[in-house]
Structure 1
Amino acid sequence: MIRYRSILAFVLAGIAAFLVSCSSPATTAAPTYTEAQLAQIERYSADVQELRDRLLEIPPLVQAQRWRDVETFIHGPLGELRFRMGNLARSLDPKVQPEARAAAQEVFEHLIAIDEAAKARDNRKALSNYNGALADFETFLKLVPASEQPVAFVPSAFVNTVQ
C-alpha cells in the first residue's frame, strides 16, 4: 500500500510539473515608439492638454447663463480641438488608434450637445454634457503614452550629472 502511494504521488508530481511547464503566461508587448514619434506625440499632447485646460472655462459661463459666450467659446478656442485630437490619435500605435478615435468622437459629440444646450438655454443639459466630455477626454488622454520612457543605456559620463 505504501508503494502505491509513493508511485501515485510521483506520477501526480510529474503530471503537475508537465502541465506547468507546458503553459505559458499570456504576454502582451507594450506599444513601442521611436524617439521621433514620442517627440511628435508629446507636441500634439501638449496642444490637446492646453485645450483640455481651456475646457474648464465652460461651467462658469453656463452658470452665469452667458449662452452667447458658451457658443462662441465652443466654436472659437475649442474649434481646433477636433483637428488636434485627430492628429494625436493618428500618431498613436495602430492598436490604440480605434479606441482613441472613438473617445475623441465622444468628446466632439458632447461639445455639440453643449452647443445645442446653449442655444436652448438648458443649464442641466450643458453641464451634464460637459461632465461627459471631461470623462471622455480623460479616457482619450489615458491612451497617450507617457513622455518619459525608461532609458536602456546611460553612459557613465552622465551618471553623476543626473539627479
Structure 2
Amino acid sequence: MSNLDFTANSLQGSQVDLKQYLGKVLLIVNTASNCGFTPQYKGLEAVYQQFRDKGVEVLGFPCNQFGHQEPGNSDEIGAFCEKNYGVSFPLFEKIDVNGSNAHPLYKHLKAKAPGLLGSEAIKWNFTKFLVKKDGTVFKRYAPATAPKELVEDIEKLLAE
C-alpha cells in the first residue's frame, strides 16, 4: 500500500483517487465553516495561489466533530468557502477525523505524524499535515499555526 493509496469523495460527490497527487507537496487540513480558525481559509487559499503552479496542492476535508462547527451539507460548505474566502483548492465531502469512523487517510496521517505527547487524536479544526512528493507525511501543525507559517517548510519540500 502506497502512502496515498486512499480515495475520498469530492465536495461534488465524485470519488477522487488520492494517488493522483503523488509527485506534489500536499497540505491537508480538516476544516470547518463556523470555527474561530475559519479565517485560515484565506491563508490556505493564499498558500495555494502562491505554490499551486510549483507543485503544491491544498486539500480541505470539512469535519463536524469539533463543536458541531461544520453543520452544512456539501453545497452549503462549498458556497460558504467560495463566497467568503474565494476558496479554489479542492474540498472534499465532510468526514470524521477521529473515532472508529475516521477516514482511512486521517488514520494514516495521525499514525505517521502524532501530535503532542504522541497523541494521534486530532484536537480541533484546522489541524494541518504537510506531505512530501513521495506521499510520506512530513509534519503535523497545530490549528493555531497560520498557513503562512508553513511556507518555509513547503519551499524545503519543493526543493527535495
TM-score normalised over the length of structure 1: 0.24
Which protein, 1 or 2, shows the higher relative CO under an 8 Å CA cutoff with sep ≥ 6? 2
Q: Which has the higher strand share?
A: 2
Tell me which structure has the larger Cα radius of gyration.
Answer: 1
